[in-house]
């Protein structure tokens, strides 16, 4: 665990500090880190504005690896997690960039051993996850060929439309856009909560960034009204369905899957703010702003659920009655994670969600209403979870039975969420700056 965390931190520091394409002098030695690495005739290109994403990905990995031992995940989590991060990084910097679909698929294959453990009762969710991700890859690859044809014949509207459908299906399958989202709650129920939360975080982030690269490459997509409709409709369906189903869900693990559906929907809505008019492009930075609270919350959610599940195997709503009385830190962390994801005031998610809703209300009020409805469903699920966890007919005395490392990490996570919520000006401007560098805004 320590080696994985330190190596990821080191890579993040190197990505932050090492200049790319410039000569570095160390005493007698001088060397230059080239922007390009050629592998079997294809290039991996890291431009200076890509460094911010490398920092983000490896800092995120370090954060997850630091809690791996405490969460009692499988031993291969760190090694496979490092491999997944490396593959997803390669997917974002490979040229031609459509090869990213194959690299994302390899990352998905590498994630299966950390999601599928020998003690699981069912693997339907994992098989469905694998199926949808594998089916998404051919659509993206084939759309690359079609887009080459569109570039050669820009006037061929029919071909452009067909390419758009292929891309929509490909990203829909990989991101879990409705109706390809059924694997999320199933996976959240079956897999170890911490492992599932890690995959829920890193895979959609990488695929969304790949999608943003896509938009950068084919700038005619930005002005496309079809894209705006697709993003808004997908976001609408995901937030509505995720919130609605979370309202009725009785399994706390599956609720994380529905929360992820709402989050991906919000991400799509955030990206849609910058599409259509080139003057709105800086608004895409709201998507990057969502990543910080999401990462913290998913990590906290995964860790608290693993702590609870280590004591109470079944985490159905009927089984966790009164669990707050014996696991108060884990229970509080779980509820805080849920409320942060929905943007409760004084939590890390509030500034971003508020800005997102304000901008959505300006551009498309109906979609804003559905986003709020989705979060309301999650809030209801969180309130119900809280009431069940603290209610106990037997009136067991309050006590903390978490291990010291579980208590420490959970408290640190809660403090981080609250500090970021109270002092967002310390953190979010840096993220927005990184986002603008990555999107080449203002350059």
Partner 1 sequence: MNSFLDILALPAVIIVGITSLILLIGRDWRWSIATLSIQYLGVFLLVALNWPVLLAVIKLIAGWMAGAVLSMGVTGVNQNLMEKLSKDFNGERDSPLAPLSGRFFRLSTGGMVGLVVISVATKVTDFIPGISIEQALGALLLIGIGLLQLCFTYNPIFVLLGLLTVLSGFEIIYAVVETSTLVAGLLAGVTLGISIVGAYLITASLEEVE
Report if residue 182 touches partner 1, rule: CB under 8 A.
no
**CA-closest candidate to residue 202, choices 406, 12, 62:** 62
> Shortest gap between Cβ of 247 and partner 1 (angstroms)?
28
Nearer Cβ to partner 1 (116/409)? 116
How many Å apart are CA 3 and CA 20, to the nearest integer? Answer: 26
Give yes or no for a contact between 274 and 208, defined as CB atoms under 8 angstroms apart.
no
155 binds partner 1 (CB under 8 A): no
> Is 124 or 362 the residue whose CB approaches partner 1 more closely?
124
In the complex, the smallest distance separating the C-beta of residue 257 from partner 1, rounded to whole angstroms, is 18
CB 207 within 8 A of CB 175: yes
Least Å distance, CB 229 to partner 1, is 25
Tell which positions 36-55 bind partner 1, by CB under 8 A. Answer: 39-42
Q: Min. distance of Cβ 153 from partner 1 in angstroms?
A: 13
Nearer to partner 1, 120 or 316 (CB): 120
Only segment of 26-34, 63-71, 131-139, 326-334 that touches partner 1 (CB under 8 A): 131-139
Q: Does 83 interact with partner 1 (rule: CB under 8 A)?
A: no
H/E segment holding residue 289 = helix 285-311
Structure tokens at 87: 């593959």
Burial letters 411-434, b for 16+ CB under 10 A, else e: eebbebbeebbeebeebbeebbeb
Q: How many angstroms separate the CA atoms of 184 and 373, rounded?
A: 20
Site for partner 1 contains 27 (CB under 8 A): no
- Site residues (CB under 8 A) for partner 1, limited to 273-292: none
CB 377 within 8 A of CB 247: yes
The SS3 assignment for 398 reads: coil
The reply to whether 120 sits near partner 1 by the rule CB under 8 A is: yes
Closest CB to partner 1 among 126 and 231? 126
Other residues' Cβ atoms within 10 Å of the Cβ of residue 34: 11
C-alpha to C-alpha distance for 99 and 85, rounded to whole angstroms: 16
Instruction: Determine, following the binding rule CB under 8 A, whether residue 126 of this chain makes contact with partner 1.
Output: yes
> Does residue 76 interact with partner 1 by CB under 8 A?
no
Q: Pick from 141, 312, 361, 411: which binds partner 1 (CB under 8 A)?
A: 141
Pairing of strands 29-32, 36-39: unpaired
Residue from the set 7, 49, 134, 280 that interacts with partner 1 by CB under 8 A? 134
Q: Residue 208: how many CA atoms within 13 Å on its side-chain side?
A: 30
118 binds partner 1, rule: CB under 8 A: yes
- Residue 316 DSSP code: B
Does residue 145 interact with partner 1 by CB under 8 A?
yes
Q: Do 61 and 77 touch, CB atoms closer than 8 A? A: no
Q: Which residues bind partner 1 (CB under 8 A)?
A: 39-42, 99, 102-103, 105-106, 109-110, 112-113, 116-121, 123-124, 126-127, 130-131, 134-135, 137-138, 141-142, 145
């Amino acid at each position: 665990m320590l080696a994985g965390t330190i190596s990821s931190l080191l890579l993040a520091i190197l990505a932050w500090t090492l200049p790319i394409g410039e000569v570095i002098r160390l005493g007698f030695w001088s060397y230059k880190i080239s922007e390009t690495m050629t592998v079997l005739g294809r290039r991996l290109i890291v431009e200076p504005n890509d460094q911010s994403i490398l920092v983000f990905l490896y800092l995120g990995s370090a954060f997850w690896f630091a809690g791996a031992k405490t969460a009692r995940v499988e031993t291969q989590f760190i090694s496979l997690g490092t491999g997944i991060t490396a593959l997803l990084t390669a997917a974002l910097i490979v040229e031609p960039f459509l090869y990213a679909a194959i690299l994302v698929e390899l990352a998905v294959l590498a994630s299966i051993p950390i999601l599928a453990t020998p003690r699981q009762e069912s693997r339907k969710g994992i098989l469905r996850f694998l199926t949808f991700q594998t089916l998404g890859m051919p659509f993206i690859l084939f759309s690359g060929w079609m887009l080459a044809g569109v570039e050669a014949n820009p006037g061929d509207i029919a071909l452009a439309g067909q390419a758009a459908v292929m891309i929509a299906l490909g990203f829909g399958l990989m991101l879990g856009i409705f109706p390809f989202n059924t694997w999320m709650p199933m996976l959240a129920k079956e897999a170890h909560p911490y492992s599932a939360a890690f995959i829920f975080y890193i895979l959609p982030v990488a695929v969304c960034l790949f999608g943003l690269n896509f938009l950068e490459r084919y700038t005619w997509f930005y002005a496309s009204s079809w894209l705006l409709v697709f993003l808004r409709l997908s976001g609408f369906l995901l937030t509505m369905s995720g919130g609605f189903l979370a309202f009725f869900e009785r399994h706390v693990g599956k609720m994380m899957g529905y929360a992820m559906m709402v989050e991906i929907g919000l991400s799509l809505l955030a990206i849609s703010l910058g599409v259509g008019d080139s003057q709105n492009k800086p608004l895409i930075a709201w998507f990057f702003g969502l990543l910080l609270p999401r990462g913290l919350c998913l990590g906290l959610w995964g860790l608290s659920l693993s702590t609870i599940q280590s004591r109470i195997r079944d985490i159905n709503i009927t089984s966790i009655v009164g669990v707050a009385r014996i696991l108060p830190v884990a229970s509080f962390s779980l509820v805080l994670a849920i409320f942060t994801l929905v943007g409760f005031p004084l939590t890390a998610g509030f500034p971003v969600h508020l800005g997102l809703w304000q901008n959505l209300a300006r551009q498309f009020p109906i979609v804003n209403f559905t986003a709020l409805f989705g979060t309301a469903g999650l809030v209801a699920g969180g309130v119900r979870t809280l009431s069940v966890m603290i209610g106990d007919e037997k009136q067991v005395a309050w006590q903390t039975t978490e291990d010291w490392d579980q208590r420490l990490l959970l408290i640190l996570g809660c403090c981080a969420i609250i500090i970021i919520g109270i002092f967002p000006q310390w953190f979010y401007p840096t993220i927005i700056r990184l986002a603008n560098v990555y999107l080449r805004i203002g350059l």
